Amino acid sequence: MSMSPEQKAFLAKRKKEKLLIRLIQILIVVSFFILWELSAQHGLINEFVFSKPSSIFQTIYQLILANNLFNHIFTTLYEIIIAFVLGIVLGFGIAILLYEFPLLAKILDPFLTMLNSLPKVAIGPLIIIIAGANIKSVITMALLINLIVSVMTIYNGFQNIDSHKIKLLNSFNATKMQKLTTLIIPASYSTIISSLKLNISMSQIGVIMGEFLVSKEGIGYLIIYGTQVFNLSLVMSGILILIIISFILYKLVVALEHKLLKNKS
């Protein structure tokens, strides 16, 4: 089926708009680094505290030469992915459990709220004593941060399903499993995707917090080590790498979102 001239014009305009947005975004990033470098060189900012792009890139290059960088990146990525998968699977399962048993949801509601508001770093020493000063503590810290958020987000999505549709399925004597698979879960796709986006960021935050406490490798370890030896270029290098990791992980979740929504349609 051939497209009309109007459709072609619309698609061409949309493509140009996307390209323009990408070019502006790249220009903003490049301008930021140039301004940062010039400000440091001319003493407008404290180079010791804020470092400068040339020093940061040199530090990253030295880490690559020393065969240290990719090991730290892979360690952090591994911990993030494990925490992310566990958070989504457990969060999804607990949300379904709470939805199917409203009395249980009412009982646990204040406890979930308290756990969500509790600063997880406050129980960091307890996590280390229980799980040990190893990767288990890092993943546990990340799971404590992302799990409750996932549960509450997905559960609230289930709660907002159109009650008339549920009554319609009830009139056909649909089982709980049938209602879940044909209505509740499909109708909550957007909420589940939002939970994925939130979970991946919470997992990264939790992993870095865990690495601050116990890890001997990972990007969080690089940052805390750089702080201890007053190597602020190493600190800023770790932060820059974390930003890049966040961007890549977000894009992967967005790609998953497009695939799920495409399958749904």
pLDDT digits (tens, 9 = 90+) for 139-185: 999 998 899 889 998 998 888 887 888 888 888 777 778 888 888 88
Q: Using CA atoms, how far apart are residues 191 and 169, in angstroms rounded to an integer?
A: 21
Tell whether the model's pLDDT for residue 240 goes beyond 70: yes
Angle separating helix axes 189-213 and 219-228, nearest 10 degrees: 40
- What is the CB neighbour count within 10 angstroms for residue 33? 15
Rounded Cα gap, residues 205 and 162, in angstroms: 34
CATH fold group of domain 51-264: MetI-like fold (1.10.3720)
Q: What is the pLDDT of residues 21-43, one digit of tens each?
A: 999 999 999 999 999 999 999 88
Tell me the pTM: 0.85
Rounded to the nearest 10 degrees, what angle do helices 102-117 and 69-100 cross at?
150
pLDDT above 70 (res 114) = yes
User: How many CB atoms neighbour CB 71 within 10 A?
Assistant: 13
Token pair of 3 as six digits: 């497209």
| pLDDT interval class at 1 (50, 70, 90) | low
Q: How far is CA 220 from CA 89, 98, 138, 146, 240, in A?
A: 25, 35, 10, 18, 12
Question: Which region among 83-87, 103-107, 185-189, 225-229 has the lowest average model confidence (pLDDT)?
Answer: 185-189
Task: Give mean pLDDT, residues 76-88.
Answer: 93
Give the per-residue pLDDT at 263: 65
**Among 132, 114, 160, 141, CA closest to 212:** 141
pLDDT band of residue 80 (cuts 50, 70, 90) is very high
Cα distance between residue 128 and residue 137, in whole Å: 6
Which of 220-225's residues contact partners 24+ apart within 8 Å by CB, and which partners?
220/76, 221/72, 222/63, 222/72
* pLDDT mean across residues, the chain: 87
pLDDT class of 82 with cuts at 50, 70, 90? very high
The mean-pLDDT minimum among 74-78, 102-106, 167-171 falls in: 167-171
**What residue segments make up the domains of the chain, in order of their start?**
1-45, 51-264
* Mean pLDDT (whole number) for 243-248: 90
Query: Which pLDDT band, with edges at 50, 70 and 90, does 66 fall under?
Result: confident
How far apart, in whole angstroms, are the C-alpha atoms of residue 173 and residue 182? 13
Query: 44 φ, ψ to 5°?
Result: -75, -25
Q: Residue 128's pLDDT is what?
A: 85
For residue 135, pLDDT beyond 60:
yes
